Amino acid sequence: MWKGRFQEATADLVEQFGESISFDWRLYSYDIAGSIAHARAQVSAGLLTTEEFTAIESGLHEIEGEIERGEFQFSTALEDIHMNIEAELTNRIGAAGAKLHTARSRNDQVATDTRLYCRTEIDLILELIEGLEAALLSQAEKHAATVVPGYTHLQRGQPVTIGHHLLAYVEMLARDKTRLLDCQKRLNVSPLGSGALAGSTINLDRQQIADELEFAAVTTNSMDAIADRDYIAELLFDLALVGAHLSRLSEDFILWSSSEFGFCTFSDAHTTGSSLMPQKKNPDVCEITRGKTGRLYGNLTAILTAIKGLPLTYNRDLQEDKEPLFDSIDTIKLTLRVNAEMIAAMTINEAVCEAAASDPLLLATDLADYLVKKGIPFRQAHELVGKAVAESVARKIPLDKLDLSEVDKAYGEDAKDVFDLNTALKARTNPGAPSISNVKSQVKRWQG
């Protein structure tokens, strides 16, 4: 492609070191769509005849079909997807193919391709997040009233329900979706026409190209359009955060499925055994999800590091944007799919949950609230209940079996009623609190 200036061929090792075709081939359909839009604008500018355009368009479609069917021979000597396609097109159609690159550079081409790729992939990821949400929602609906301890510091805190716990993740995922949509909106801008860095003396209709590719606008600074990869960093952050949420969910599930908790059981199909210990049923999907989140963070770090020291505009370092991008997208898609499937098939062990939730200490705070309702300041009520708990521990008598009126005269006969879980949950009706009716109406709201 640059034979005019060079006398020597590229060294084999340099070719091997610099090629990106082994991974950027997957941008082919976006590259071809961009080329067709660019060629059509050349027709409008009187630079290509309609016959030449037709040859370009059908040649590109032919190549696209061959790539799709795995019949196309990629060449590492041609470095990347852009040159592989263009060279082959020119091979096939001759002069018209050689005109295609007028007023264009691989720099605006690659920025266009990756933006189009991200735009499409975000749609697919949004759908997969919705699939995971649906699995969480169906379990939340089934277990809107299955009471379990809620934890802070992994110590039992207050009663919640499985439904409420799972809905917390639906909230996180819903915010993740808005972040992805926002990212998609910001990246949906056409860089084509920015050329290598300074536009071109040949002015093609950038708006026409943008319209054909369904971009919402054209970029307004050619240097920014070429050098910028913040849309990739932003997307990788959004995906890293989806990973963080799934990793926390995994951690909850790993605990829940342990013999120590026993709140849930995963299906055989979504667990693995041990080659040595015959009794084992391991939550590998959860563990791998937790592990893969590390990759998502690593990919984000890779792109941020790649761009931090680059002078404007294009530097070849930017070629390193694609592998982390592709990896995060592949990783999150598979992770979302397998988790949705696993959650849909998971069993919640209601009796075990109920036994854990029957711990009267979960209602110690409610007992303090009871005293507050009798006119005692909260700090004082907290101390009184703390003393009752200490006594219950010391005398090995569960808090709900202790004669509270003996501990302090502030407690009335009705203090015992505090230890009814149903009453305790029913009282939590404020927005966001885990009353069963709240949980049910949240499930309905999300199911829309």
Q: Which is nearer to ligand ARG, 83 or 418 (CB)?
A: 83
- Given the residues 75, 274, 405, 437, the one annotated as active site: 274
Phi (first) and psi of residue 434, to 5 degrees: -90, 30
Q: How far is CA 150 from the centre of its chain?
A: 26
Task: Record the tokens describing residue 346, joined without a space.
Answer: 């998971």
CB of 317 to ligand ARG, least distance (A): 9
Q: Which is nearer to ligand ARG, 106 or 143 (CB)?
A: 106
Q: Which is nearer to ligand ARG, 290 or 322 (CB)?
A: 322
Q: Which is nearer to ligand ARG, 313 or 331 (CB)?
A: 313
* 12 class by beta-carbon count within 10 Å (0-12 exposed, 13-18 middle, 19+ buried): exposed
CB of 78 to ligand ARG, least distance (A): 10
> Is 153 a catalytic site residue?
yes
Task: Record the tokens describing residue 407, joined without a space.
Answer: 């501990």
Interface contacts to ligand ARG, rule CB under 6 A: 20, 24, 80, 106-107, 110, 314, 316, 318-319
Residue in 187, 179, 172 with CA at minimum distance from that of residue 136: 172
Inter-residue contact 134 to 166 (CB < 8 Å):
no
CB of 36 to ligand ARG, least distance (A): 19
Alpha helices in 200-283 (DSSP H): 206-212, 222-227, 230-256
Q: Which is nearer to ligand ARG, 20 or 247 (CB)?
A: 20
> Is 38 a catalytic site residue?
no
Estimate the crossing angle of helix 106-142 against helix 28-44, to 10 degrees.
130
CB of 13 to ligand ARG, least distance (A): 17
Distance in angstroms (rounded) separating the CA atoms of residues 218 and 169: 37
CB of 104 to ligand ARG, least distance (A): 12
Inter-residue contact 442 to 167 (CB < 8 Å):
yes
Q: Which residues are catalytic?
A: 153, 274
